[in-house]
Amino acid sequence: MNEKNGTILSVNDLKTYFQTEDGVVKAVDGITFELKRGETLGIVGESGSGKSVTNLSVMRLIPEPPGKIVNGDIIFDGVDVRKLSIEEVRKIRGKRMAMIFQDPMTSLNPYLKISTQLMEVTQLHLGHSKQQAYEHAVEMLRTVGIPAPENRIDNYPHEFSGGMRQRVMIAMALSCQPELLIADEPTTALDVTIQAQILELIKDLKKDLGTSVILITHDLGVVAGMTENIIVMYAGKVFESAPTKELFATPANPYTKGLLKSVPDPAHEEGKPLYQIPGLPPDVAHLPPGCPFAERCERAEDICEREFPPFVQINENHHSLCHFAKEVYAESINQGSTIS
Amino acid sequence: MTETNGKSLISLENLKVHFNLGGGGILDKLTGGSPVPRVVKAVDGVTFDIKAGETLGLVGESGCGKSTLGKALLRLTPITSGKVFYNGKDLANSSEKEMREQRKHLQMIFQDPYASLNPRMTVGNIIGEPIRTFGLSDGGSVERKVQDLMETVGMSRRFIKRYPHEFSGGQRQRIGIARALAVDPEFIVADEPISALDVSIQAQIMNLMEDLQTQKNLTYLFISHDLRAIRHVADRVAVMYLGKIVELAGAKDIYAEPLMPYTKALISAVPVPDPEIESKRERIILTGDVPSPINPPTGCRFHTRCPFAIEDCKRIEPELVEIKPKHYAACIRISPENPYIEENV
């Protein structure tokens, strides 16, 4: 491990495009962010915003063709992942950076015992013998809270519930004590009570192992309690990036504001209709020349449809992609002070 | 939320839906199969009313039987025993023919807008099918009626010749709603209508459903695992656990003052989009998963996960009791005299 507060991952102007019959889809189009060691970064966005593709790019898991990382640096602990050969990437992936996927039903092999799937990781990356790997696998299952792991380890995935399968996925991802864990919608397929268990588990493991985490989700509630920083993505772009508290308290982008307002909030309702962002997320294959959110934005003016907005710096850690970022930010500050 | 006149549109009396998984036969005993019959008690004795014009929210974890209950209400799944009254008529004992007639008044909106629309039919045919089936075009053209419906749900009438795959999830859900509205129903079961949709689209669909309710005086059973959504749309909320209703109260009351330990845990599990609150709050984390509905736990079915369970909970099956005015809960550790479980410990 390097110095404690260094940067574990920095992504700079990443562009990942897909060649489709419909033309080039710019799934990720110039994403920049940084993750410090031991921190959790939330990536929030709706379907098609490019949040998963960003992280698949980091893991070098983009199917090529049709996809291709066309630009940018992905610096993981000082090394540009883009410049590594596939062999070299494999040595890092699963060992130093690992990923948990949304659907624990489809990401485990139904034909293999849990033990086989867990042992494979440490035999490959840590050179464990069969015996060592087996013992390690039992320990990992215990760590993620599977009761009586000795008895369960030789079960098949279908004998586990959804929440338990997600625990197995986490055990597998954490087997080699990775420095970076990417969790892509880890709780979306789970019940709220199980979601609470899994989030608590990720929090505890992060504390104990010092893992840095990227948490991808569409649920603003999930990132609120889990992350230090958040980036909000829309149409392949970072629309806003800020420390978590600041983003919720004083958003500087109309899209973020809309998302925050459209979550049913017990404190400010009573029979009022829910705030809704009009329209649909854009077709990423045919983006307008101006701001991709302009046609849904209640604040949009002529310039928004003509010109692509600048990425405005609000303060040291807070940026927003909007022609009126400063004004929106000022409004948020005023609204905040009138409520509290 | 609309005014309710207090009249019950739907009433369930001890409704049971059991699924037989086999077992218990001679062959099972010989071949080492299950010696006792294995029965999934998906819905196991549910009694409640839905008042005309209200939205009753039904929440619970996956596998608790909430979707089966919704389907049983419309007889889309066979009912094992019990009664379902619609406007005083018992649907559970109606013939298929009578039931078909009733489906004009009782409709359903499904969770998955990708799977619930026939990919080979145009939007016009999907929405028009119930109109033709029931002969409801009133002499006018079916197409005209379809176009009106499309406009009602916020879609352009130009799209009538398009196919489902040409639409986004939110748009498809609008088509599903238009299809349900085509027969001018009184009652709609909405089974997780927003779960498959993006956040910004969820709000649109919830608002649409509320507007339609006001316009057409609809009554909803709104099934969801999303407690935030339920809180927003429902007048009253029923909480279901392993085939039983464990708490039932006005939406405001149940969130402000849940009485059942299970309801408390469910509500506390929902993450709040506010980092200040999230950093301070203490969650009640339930241990373990929902037990299997095949041979569920004895006594109170929640006792295996309940932090307040005592020996008696394993034996005594609690009844739904009116603990506070119009606030029902099924727990032997609370009573109208001592409604708060923490104080009874």
Distance between CA atoms of residues A4 and A6, nearest Å: 6
Handedness of CA B185, B189, B191, B195 (dihedral sign): positive
Q: What integer is the mean pLDDT of B136-150? A: 85
B330, B260 Cβ separation under 8 angstroms = yes
**pLDDT recorded at residue A266:** 60
pLDDT digits (tens, 9 = 90+) for A22-44: 788 899 999 999 999 999 999 99
Q: What is the pLDDT of residues B224-245, one digit of tens each?
A: 988 888 988 999 999 999 999 9
Note the pLDDT of residue A180: 93
Q: How confident is the model at residue A338 (pLDDT cuts 50, 70, 90)?
A: very low
Which CATH fold would you assign to the domain B8-23+39-105+185-259?
A: Rossmann fold (3.40.50)
The residues near B306 (Cβ < 8 Å, ≥ 6 apart) are: B261, B262, B300, B313
User: Per mean pLDDT, which range of A70-84, B130-144, B321-335 is the poorest?
Assistant: B130-144
A199 in contact with B at a CB cutoff of 8 Å? yes
**To 5 degrees, how large is the angle CA B62–CA B68–CA B72?**
165
Inter-chain residue contact B255 with A164, CB threshold 8 Å: no
Cβ contact B275–A262 (<8 Å): no
In this structure, of A280-284, B89-93, B249-253, the range with the lowest mean pLDDT score is A280-284
**Percent of chain A residues topping a pLDDT of 90:** 48
Residue A79 CB partners (closer than 8 Å, separation 6+): none
Where in chain B are the domains?
8-23+39-105+185-259
| pLDDT above 70 as % of chain A | 95
**Span B293-298, average pLDDT:** 84
pLDDT confidence tier of residue B4, bands split at 50, 70 and 90: very low
pLDDT at B6: 67
Can you give the pLDDT at residue A200? 87
**pLDDT, tens digit, for every residue of A242-293?**
999 999 999 999 999 999 888 876 655 556 778 888 888 887 888 888 999 9
CA distances from B117 to A15, B113, B172, B177 (A): 36, 7, 8, 11
What ipTM does the predicted assembly reach?
0.76
pLDDT in tens, B15-72: 999 988 777 777 777 777 677 778 888 999 999 999 999 999 999 888 889 999 999 9
Determine whether the interchain pair A260/B273 forms a contact, defined as Cβ–Cβ distance below 8 Å.
Answer: yes
Q: Does the beta carbon of A192 lie under 8 angstroms from any beta carbon of chain B?
A: yes
Cβ proximity of B15 and B79 under 8 Å: yes
Tell whether A243 is within 8 A of chain B (Cβ).
Answer: no
Residue A340 pLDDT > 70, yes or no? no
Instruction: Using CB atoms, pick whichever of B61, B227, B275 lies closest to residue A225.
Output: B275
Predicted confidence (pLDDT) at residue A165 exceeds the cutoff of 60: yes
Inter-chain CB proximity B273 and A245 less than 8 Å: no
- Contact B199/A263, CB-based, under 8 Å? yes
Mean pLDDT, all residues of chain A: 87
Shortest CB distance from B289 goes to which of A161, A245, A277? A161
pLDDT value, residue A5: 62
Instruction: Identify any residues that bridge with B107 across adjacent strands, giving them in sequence order.
Output: B188
pLDDT category at A80 given cuts 50, 70, 90 is: very high
Give me the total of CB pairs closer than 8 Å, taking one residue from chain A and one from chain B: 119
Please name the residues between 29 and 88 in chain A that touch chain B, using a CB distance below 8 Å: 46-47
**Average pLDDT estimate for B201-229:** 91
Average pLDDT, chain B: 88
Which uninterrupted H or E stretch holds A156? none
Question: What mean pLDDT is predicted for residues A56-70?
Answer: 89
What's the pLDDT score for residue A2? 43
Cα distance from B97 to chain A (closest Cα, Å)? 38
Residue B235: its chain A contacts at CB < 8 A? none
Name the pTM for this structure: 0.84
- Per residue in A108-128, pLDDT (tens digit) is 898 999 999 999 989 988 889
- Residue with more model confidence, A66 or B219: B219
Q: pLDDT at position B282, please?
A: 79
CB contact under 8 A, A281 and B168: yes
User: Is it the case that residue B5 has pLDDT exceeding 70?
Assistant: no
**What residue of A is the nearest CA neighbor of B210?**
A273
